[in-house]
Amino acid sequence: MKILRYSADDTTRYGILEEDGAIRQLTSCPFDSMEESGETTHLDNVRVLAPVGKPRLIGVGLNYLAHAEEGGQTPPDQPMLFMLPSTAILDPEDAIIYPSQGQNVHYEGELTVIMGKEARRVSKEDALDYVLGYTCGNDVSERVIQANEMANGCMLIGKGFDTFKPLGPYITTGLDSTNLELTTRLNGEVKQHTNTDDLIFPVAELIAYISDAITLLPGDVIMTGTPSGVGPVQPGDVVEIEIEGVGVLRNPVVAEG
């Protein structure tokens, strides 16, 4: 099932997307109820939004073996987690703003988890029962600022600029998060291509680890890390993140004006 958040007639709604583009409107958000209102519309008549509005957003560093090897780094023995501002979330097709202080901005395609139920101290075996579904994410990063922050033992601004966290286009339920193809394209050229079976800490392990200390809430977002092949973007570029079963998250890059 594909669930989308969309805007129509200046109203934000959730719906279930059919293969022919028809949308069956929900009465509320899917974290509260999947009850349908009986009203329908079509994908051509709406603006697709990021699947969540202002959630808590958790990032994961160095979570693909090939990416750790790419950077000459030892794979971590526990998840490397950091918090991200919800104000960085960007809708599909909207522009990533290359900030005026930016020197080396990179794309990072990522499988992104949308929590569906409150989770506290859940086991690895039960963790996926708390997931609503999965979407595409782009963990856009300004590397110079990020490196300076990490040298001081922190990380926020380099990954937290407004527009640096595109998400979407849909939440897909029922996927096997341990076996999904992920592809990142820059101006149509494939830059990242992997399978999530290369994740050092799969989704279930991440949820169990996080929820052992922090209660995860419905609508919380976990960006699970990026594979090898990260690289720079420039104003005028177009970045596409595609995940098997989800769809394509597409965003142009523009200079801050």
Mean pLDDT of 174-187: 98
**Rg from Cα positions in the chain:** 17
Residue 70's pLDDT is 76
Instruction: Check pLDDT > 90 for residue 125.
Output: yes
Reading the block at residue 210, the tokens are 């996080």
Q: What percent of the chain has pLDDT over 90?
A: 94
Domains of the chain: 2-47 (2.30.30.370), 57-255 (3.90.850.10)
Distant-in-sequence, close-in-space partners of 156: CB < 8 Å, separation ≥ 6:
82, 83, 84, 85, 149
pLDDT in tens, 61-72: 999 987 777 777
Instruction: Check pLDDT > 80 for residue 44.
Output: yes
Handedness of CA 194, 200, 203, 204 (dihedral sign): positive
Burial of 174 (0-12, 13-18, 19+ CB in 10 A): exposed
Residue 46's pLDDT is 98
